[in-house]
Chain A
């Protein structure tokens, strides 16, 4: 009996509950304050001439290893984009953005992958200071160079330019910190920016203690330890826009591969990165354009290399100086709202490694060629077929492995996604 009573009360409550007030009459309703929400899927089908088990062990000698495929160090399991032959879900990117109050806006970008969730970006910005000044705080993509600030889904190719990926890893300079930018009151575009960042890049910047805290291999330095400055200028000539920039980053470097199964090692020292970028966009009409985009990066890593055994005992600690540079140059033709195509040339120009003052012989001819064609069913869905020939990777025996990769990539977005800047 009690049960019947209870269920009838519940039913009545449900019936009344179902009689929902219209939105505008709900006294405490806040649904109109929902931020802009968008979800972006990036998935791919990959056909690579190197087996998955091998590709993760390939390295760019003297520069980086573990660039391709999925690999693990320590407890961390990383998968790069387009890691496996066959089907890949690279990420689901959830973007939330809204004004906070009259003074601030906030943006959050979260990458959901099969390995978990990463805070890709989470920052507030303000224009309230005036005088062309914009401030930003939180975690964000640095405005170093041209490509670094852009999200993966906005790139013109499925993968990062070789020099970016080799020097900075697949997330580029993506850091916690603060940024101030100033646009000059000049008749042409002139912007200068400065960033103070924590400095935790896997491939280049770091400040953590390596080894045992009591008796460290390399003692850490509390952050922030990465400082970035840049200046950008732009000018229009008719329907052609020219944009150029110079960037500089300086920080501490800690590269910790002490947990690696083969050849565990670590590096501690100082890091400097120089960048120059140049973009030319010529618009032929509202929809047709040609864009030429090039960036040159040069870095200097100066410190000590630690060769370790699997227990973390230091076997040797030679001084190490790496002076490396590389560039990419790409040309993209946008035919109309449906079709785009492009090609990219990547190369490592300089790869000088000095150990205890002695040159270490490095391979030359580290380059990569990529071509792609895209079909957009609308502004919100893009399908891309990309082919690349990568001549920069070597196996553990020091043999060059030419990698041919075909990627069929789908990038689909739903919801309200803010427009991209130039």
Chain B
């Protein structure tokens, strides 16, 4: 009988001890990759959004409520990128650990400097982000800052394993610095190139490598292309002669194809996150691809 009881106890509590490491929910795949790199085997990550779809428009599926409900911590991008889908998930999850006021909640945008902060906030200017451009992870330098922020966060919620997190960060930092040199060399002859985008989600990448964005296919942030603005863009391209249209993977390239047909400009698909294109399965390959895309 006693044996049976012991066995039962073991069966009941075994899964709990196996799951004793932290389950961290993150909004986007790039945050998941960074967190896993620093956290190593002491954490598991649950990514809420898919990497190949528009990060602004994620359907708040009920399954995501369960993912937030079962998380020990939540790391988000911030800068209002998740404003349209994450708050209702947090509200419904009934999990104090993912509440924005909790010590196990991390808003990455509070730890990097945002650029292009609008001086005036008015919706006549489209669906703007009042805190500045939130696509800051597309600068390799920022990735390093974010890794450091996540390291500090993991140590703050799991002091026991701080040595592991420090070491993983140091390893990553060393590897990343080498990579950054490589990418800078690759991109050195691209400095000053003019580009067009669909939406300005490469602002930080462009800044890092000296590319100059001269226009977007959408007339205003979040407003779909109009024929008048498309004609203006064609005129602009003829006048300014930019190298290419750097296009995201989730908007239709219909308008870009039309512009390309009229002007002969190249369209280059630029992944914004892991899984955005095939073979982009870690942060290194994301930037490898981005820095080789412009020929």
A378 in complex: contacting residue of B59, B97, B99, B127, CB < 8 Å = B127
Docked complex: A100-136 residues within 8 A CB-CB of B: 102, 105, 125, 127-134
Docked complex: A397-422 residues within 8 A CB-CB of B: 414, 418-422
B59 touches A183 (CB 8 A): no
With both beta carbons as reference points, the residue of chain A lying nearest to B126 in the complex is identified as A378
A185 in complex: contacting residue of B57, B61, B69, B88, CB < 8 Å = B69
B101 at the interface (CB under 8 A from A): yes
Among A182, A190, A234, A422, the one with the most B-chain Cβ atoms within 10 Å of its Cβ is A422
B224 touches A422 (CB 8 A): no
B117 at the interface (CB under 8 A from A): no
- Provided the pairs A133-B94, A181-B94, A286-B53 are in contact, do residues A186 and B224 lie with their beta carbons within 8 angstroms? no
Give min CB distance, B44 to chain A, whole Å.
Answer: 13
A128 touches B123 (CB 8 A): no
* Contact code string A42-65 (vs B, CB < 8 Å = 1, else 0): 000000000000000000000000
B92 in complex: contacting residue of A130, A131, A378, A421, CB < 8 Å = A421
Give min CB distance, A215 to chain B, whole Å.
Answer: 49
Give min CB distance, B275 to chain A, whole Å.
Answer: 14
B85 at the interface (CB under 8 A from A): yes
B250 touches A132 (CB 8 A): no
* Contact code string A196-210 (vs B, CB < 8 Å = 1, else 0): 000000000000000
- Provided the pairs A125-B91, A285-B250, A380-B123 are in contact, do residues A183 and B222 lie with their beta carbons within 8 angstroms? no
A72 at the interface (CB under 8 A from B): no
Docked complex: A330-358 residues within 8 A CB-CB of B: 336-338
B141 at the interface (CB under 8 A from A): no
Stretch at the interface among A25-33, A235-243, A366-374: A235-243
B96 at the interface (CB under 8 A from A): yes
With both beta carbons as reference points, the residue of chain B lying nearest to A378 in the complex is identified as B223
Q: How many angstroms between the C-alpha atoms of A189 and B59 in the bound complex?
A: 15
Give min CB distance, A70 to chain B, whole Å.
Answer: 34
A134 in complex: contacting residue of B60, B84, B86, B94, CB < 8 Å = B94
B84 in complex: contacting residue of A128, A414, A419, CB < 8 Å = A419
Q: Which residues of B contact A234 (CB under 8 A)?
A: 61-63
B173 at the interface (CB under 8 A from A): no
A262 at the interface (CB under 8 A from B): no
A379 at the interface (CB under 8 A from B): yes
Q: How many angstroms between the C-alpha atoms of A173 and B221 in the bound complex?
A: 39
A422 touches B60 (CB 8 A): yes
A419 in complex: contacting residue of B53, B69, B85, CB < 8 Å = B85
A16 at the interface (CB under 8 A from B): no
Q: Which residues of B contact A236 (CB under 8 A)?
A: 61, 63
Among A187, A283, A286, the one with the most B-chain Cβ atoms within 10 Å of its Cβ is A286
Give min CB distance, B66 to chain A, whole Å.
Answer: 5
- Provided the pairs A130-B94, A183-B66, A286-B53 are in contact, do residues A422 and B87 lie with their beta carbons within 8 angstroms? no
With both beta carbons as reference points, the residue of chain A lying nearest to B97 in the complex is identified as A130
* Contact code string B66-110 (vs A, CB < 8 Å = 1, else 0): 100110000000000001111111111111110101000000000
* Contact code string A161-188 (vs B, CB < 8 Å = 1, else 0): 0000000000000000000011111111
Among A102, A127, A184, A418, the one with the most B-chain Cβ atoms within 10 Å of its Cβ is A127
Docked complex: B200-230 residues within 8 A CB-CB of A: 222-224
Q: How many angstroms between the C-alpha atoms of A211 and B88 in the bound complex?
A: 45
Q: Which residues of B contact A125 (CB under 8 A)?
A: 91
B54 at the interface (CB under 8 A from A): yes
Q: Which residues of B contact A281 (CB under 8 A)?
A: 59, 61
With both beta carbons as reference points, the residue of chain B lying nearest to A289 in the complex is identified as B59
B65 at the interface (CB under 8 A from A): yes
Q: How many angstroms between the C-alpha atoms of A281 and B123 in the bound complex?
A: 30
Q: Which residues of A contact B57 (CB under 8 A)?
A: 286-287
Q: Which residues of B contact A420 (CB under 8 A)?
A: 60, 88
Closest 8 CB pairs of A and B: A234-B62, A286-B54, A421-B88, A189-B62, A134-B94, A132-B94, A286-B53, A102-B101
Which residues on A are within 8 Å of B, measured CB to CB? 99, 102, 105, 125, 127-134, 181-191, 232, 234-236, 241, 243, 281, 283, 285-287, 289, 336-338, 378-380, 414, 418-422
14 other A-B residue contacts (CB within 8 Å) besides A99-B101, A286-B53, A287-B57: A127-B91, A127-B94, A128-B99, A134-B92, A183-B94, A185-B69, A187-B66, A191-B62, A235-B63, A286-B250, A378-B123, A379-B127, A421-B92, A422-B88
Which residues on B are within 8 Å of A, measured CB to CB? 53-54, 57, 59-63, 65-66, 69-70, 83-97, 99, 101, 123, 126-127, 222-224, 250-251
Task: Please list 18 pairs of residues, one from A and one from B, whose beta carbons are closer than 8 Å in the complex, sorted by A's number.
Answer: A127-B91, A127-B94, A133-B94, A184-B66, A189-B62, A189-B65, A232-B62, A241-B62, A241-B63, A283-B59, A285-B53, A285-B250, A286-B53, A289-B59, A337-B224, A379-B222, A419-B60, A422-B88
